Amino acid sequence: MYTFKLTADEVVEQYAPIVKKQLKQLNVFKDYEDYYQIGLIALWEAYERFDPQKGTFATFAMNTVRGKLLTQLYKEKTYATRHHITEEDFHQITDQNVATPLERELLAPYLEGLTERQQIWVKEAIMVGKATADIARDYKVSVHTVRSWKKGALKVLKTRLKRESLLN
């Protein structure tokens, strides 16, 4: 088996644009960092398996990276199709997590202006005390997605808090 005279870091540095190009061609914007990491892993695997008698490394790397990305996209699409949350399930889950009417009443003003997903994060993380990974698992989304709910919710809440402190 042939080995490159480049280190793994040099291969990543030289061939990472292949990963970025494939992500762009496949229109991957959601969970971009996760897919980029998958692409880099595929690049490493291409580096490990490359045989120069069968072609150029760039072509082999591109095909390997694209194949890995397509496989992951297919897996996630299949999973999402099979594990779809209906609106009824969504409301049952969110209603179970706020224990008492008093807690709902106290929490209601803070939830105004938040999207449904941001409200889920507030209820699950703050009221129930669930970890981000647990919320992601329960709602069948990625950890990155739950973090974006958190980021959005905190942004709205901080803006509201600043506005209220200026009024008082």
Integer Cα distance of 42 and 120 in angstroms = 35
Q: How confident is the model at residue 1 (pLDDT cuts 50, 70, 90)?
A: very low
Integer Cα distance of 43 and 60 in angstroms = 9
Integer Cα distance of 104 and 95 in angstroms = 9
Q: What is the CA radius of gyration of the chain?
A: 22
pLDDT tens, residue by residue, 5-58: 777 788 888 889 999 999 998 888 888 899 999 999 999 898 888 888 888 888
Q: What are residue 55's phi and psi, to 5 degrees?
A: 140, -170
87 or 111: which leads in pLDDT? 111
Judge contact between 14 and 46, C-beta under 8 A.
Answer: no
pLDDT at position 89 is 59
DSSP state, 52? G
pLDDT at position 67 is 92
31 SS3 class: coil
pLDDT at position 28 is 86
pTM score, two decimals? Answer: 0.48
Q: What's the CATH number for 8-82?
A: 1.10.1740
For domain 87-167, the question of CATH label 1.10.260 is answered with no
Integer Cα distance of 20 and 12 in angstroms = 12
**Residue given tokens 């402190």 in the structure block:** 165
Integer Cα distance of 21 and 44 in angstroms = 16
Integer Cα distance of 23 and 30 in angstroms = 10
Per-domain residue ranges of the chain: 8-82, 87-167
- Smallest CA-to-CA distance from 20 within 43, 1, 4 is with 43
22 or 101: which leads in pLDDT? 22
pLDDT tens, residue by residue, 125-160: 887 788 999 999 999 999 999 999 999 988 888 888
